[in-house]
Chain A
Amino acid sequence: MSTEILMPALSPTMEKGNIAKWLKKEGDTVRSGDVIAEIETDKATMEVEAIDEGTLGKILVPEGSQDVAVNTPIAVILADGEDASAIGSAPKAAESAPPVEAAPLAPSPVASAAPATPASVTSAVAAPPQPETVPEPDVPEGTEMVNLTMREALRDAMAEEMRRDGDVFVMGEEVAEYQGAYKITQGLLQEFGAKRVIDTPITEHGFAGVGVGAAMAGLKPIVEFMTFNFAMQAMDQIINSAAKTHYMSGGQIGCSIVFRGPNGAAARVAAQHSQDFTAWYSHIPGLKVVAPYTAADAKGLLKAAIRDPNPVVFLENEILYGHSSPVPKLDDFVIPIGKARIARPGKDVTLVAWSIGMNYALKAAEELAKLGIDAEVIDLRTIRPMDVDSIVASVQKTGRCVTVEEGWHQSGVGAEIVAQLMEKAFDYLDAPVLRVTGKDVPMPYAANLEKLALPSVQEVVEAARAVTYR
């Protein structure tokens, strides 16, 4: 029986990839384990191995195809004695395989599937609406907008700042020769050399301290944590050394440093690798904490973070790395830290979110619109210092508020927002503020439980209906 070879997912969050090269041609005999093709993702180039013996009956997706969705059949292997006419009878491997639950809200846009492939790509959750781009005040009208992935935007921000200032360097695990575990530092080694793009040993506590020491001496390190889960090893240096020394030295010792990397839930990597640390860092005076959602914000805020004379914890999100959104094409696009953005204006209820929480909030706003509820969505962007004024101003208009975050509820960022609103906007509230958060459990591995542990669009919609009594 013929077997379809599917576009493989090479990482938990991969959604699509390119067929770089076919190493076997139609009619070739293949054995299990033979490398038949090379595929490229935005992170890496990988080899695809045949999983069955037989003859490569048909190549369904030609070499050079771009953005082929995961699980798209890319070739058919014929069993001994079969010929190409059997291809039609090939079972849909996608059906026999366990259902691939896309990461909740990680979209697999159907439109991007390669042409001439059967429409076997199903996405559990449709793509979130792209945020309306509200141009920054300092973006001149008529500025050209370029679609960039968050990954590219972050890379561009670092490259621009490294060109601008010789004191800026990047260090971390796999940032140089490997080009970044998540390919955020792609090309930086080639442009800036090994002196300024530094592979460290796997030694978070140590290299965080080395980075802080270098910052105390006046350099401007960008310390990449492969994920913020591993930064727990370095917590002492981030908090006790980076955040506090300026104060403890009476203002003598500065620490201009950026700690950056993916934070929060990835997909299907369980409790130790899926955790949101936003609230942890936001608790600490002496730190700034940034968590962007759009590519433009990622670029503008990372540039601001690198220039900031203070330690900045820059929380990215793995699931957002591959998402594209428009970025103004400007020589020097810097977004001030500490300013929220109204991502969607509305009058009935304020939804406050940041980073991937925006995915839920924007999608929920669309759903609410269908119910006649006009939600205003605030993208907080910076968690510390928090732009409370913008939230209060919005709540003064709407009288209702729902916060959305993947982190846990107790002492979460949403809890802080609720408290701020109690103190500063109590008389404007027409309903208690509700929080939509991650569930109060370590992140489970099983796909269904993982989905349950995370917030959902439905939960945001229900919370918004509850506070609007509709």
Chain B
Amino acid sequence: MVVAAKKSAASKTVAKAAAPKGTSRRSEKAPTVPDFTKAEELDAYRDMLRIRRFEEKAGQMYGMGLIGGFCHLYIGQEAVVIGMQAALKDGDQVITGYRDHGHMLACGMDPKGVMAELTGRRGGYSKGKGGSMHMFSIEKGFFGGHGIVGAQVSLGTGLSFANHYREDGAVCLTYFGDGAANQGQVYESFNMAELWKLPVVYIIENNKYAMGTAVNRATAQADFSKRGSSFNIPGEQVDGMDVRAVKAAGERAVEFARSGKGPYILEMLTYRYRGHSMSDPAKYRSKEEVQKMRTEHDPIEQVRARLLDKKWASEDELKAIDAEIRDVMNAAADFASHDPEPDASELYTDVLR
């Protein structure tokens, strides 16, 4: 009963995203979902599937004991990072919290290096010293991978401060979850970002559960797109399961920030299928709730259905894409299983420059 009520509330907020917003600083245009071209649909399908297959493989490897510690999978949320990444240019930055594998792949980081970091091997992006939650690639504009809930919000604001200082036109995408949205430093950052008109887009990935706590049990204002309103930061709710809606909103938000108007908030209504981390049995929600999201809202299935529907791809062609991706992920897993651990001498390196 309770779950049903929750679900209807959730679908209502998704529906609301399609309606024009009342406040003047919100986007005036109703965010209608524009169609993708064939090429865009195929790219989105491939890119989201890469994340899904990577995460499935990571889950397997965790089960085999090859990955230790915490491992937070992104399965279900793929449309958010893939849609947002399409709005970025070279030189833009991305920063997020600990559920970060999807963001790294979206930024173009090599699955081998990411997987080898998960297994704590020398070929990992942090030479095995960071693990699942702490990976970086300056080359790809990815600034982590941060383990303290909410810390990346101030840091991302600082990255955008650097863009502003250098007047380089770059924008920083700062991702955090509905749980992090209750941390104090988020609002300290909002205040400074708007005060100084910093080029930052705050993306709140509302997957409805902060670890095991449902949004409505932890937050007095569950419409996270309004969380910037007392700082005059415009916000939108976006159907984060629809990659087209994400990309369109992302382009609006990034353009807003890049043009010097200051920060912008996008609340992505999304869902994670797996537990908070590998050790979470997810008893705080029903199997039916998860199943319903999977069957009715899955971001990859939506694209797949359109591709087939419009005859832009055949089942066989899509299978071929899947097979190709599985090969890449198997190779990554193989590398990450056989790459040696870091040399013992690495213990004392990289403490200081």
A→B interface (CB under 8 Å): 169, 195, 200-201, 203, 205-219, 236-237, 240-241, 245-254, 256, 285-286, 288, 309-310
Contacts and interface: CB of A to CB of B under 8 A. Distances in A.
B222 interface: no
B158 A216 contact: yes
Given A207-B192, A254-B353, 13 more contacts: A206-B191, A209-B158, A213-B157, A216-B159, A217-B143, A218-B162, A236-B148, A240-B148, A248-B145, A250-B130, A251-B350, A251-B353, A286-B351
A247 B158 contact: no
Contacts of A216: 143, 155, 158-159
Contact of B165 (A201, A219, A245, A254): A219
Contacts, number: 146
A286 B165 CA distance: 26
B184 A205 contact: yes
Contact of B144 (A206, A210, A253): A253
Contacts of A286: 351-352
A169 B196 CA distance: 15
Given A207-B188, A213-B162, A240-B148, A248 B155 contact: no
A219 B168 CA distance: 13
Contacts of A241: 146, 148, 151, 155
B193 to A, nearest CB: 9
Interface stretch (B19-27, B131-139, B324-332): B131-139
30 contacts: A203-B188, A205-B188, A206-B191, A209-B153, A209-B155, A209-B189, A210-B155, A210-B189, A212-B158, A213-B143, A213-B155, A216-B155, A217-B163, A219-B165, A236-B148, A236-B151, A237-B185, A240-B147, A246-B350, A246-B351, A248-B134, A249-B134, A249-B144, A249-B350, A250-B350, A251-B127, A253-B138, A256-B353, A285-B351, A310-B352
Task: Give 3 nearest A-B pairs by CB, closest first.
Answer: A213-B158, A209-B154, A206-B188
Contacts of B154: 205-210, 212-213, 237
Interface string B109-128: 00000000000000011111
A352 B5 CA distance: 68
A213 B192 CA distance: 13
Interface of B: 93, 95, 124-130, 134-138, 143-148, 151, 153-163, 165-166, 184-185, 188-189, 191-192, 195, 349-353
Contacts of A212: 154-155, 158
B353 A309 contact: yes
Contacts of A215: 158
A416 to B, nearest CB: 17
Given A205-B188, A209-B155, A286-B351, A245 B93 contact: no
Nearest to A207: B192
Contacts of A211: 158
Contacts of A205: 154, 184-185, 188
Contacts of A247: 129, 350-351
Nearest to A209: B154
Contacts of B184: 205
A201 B188 contact: yes
B159 A217 contact: yes
A367 B159 CA distance: 54
Nearest to B117: A250
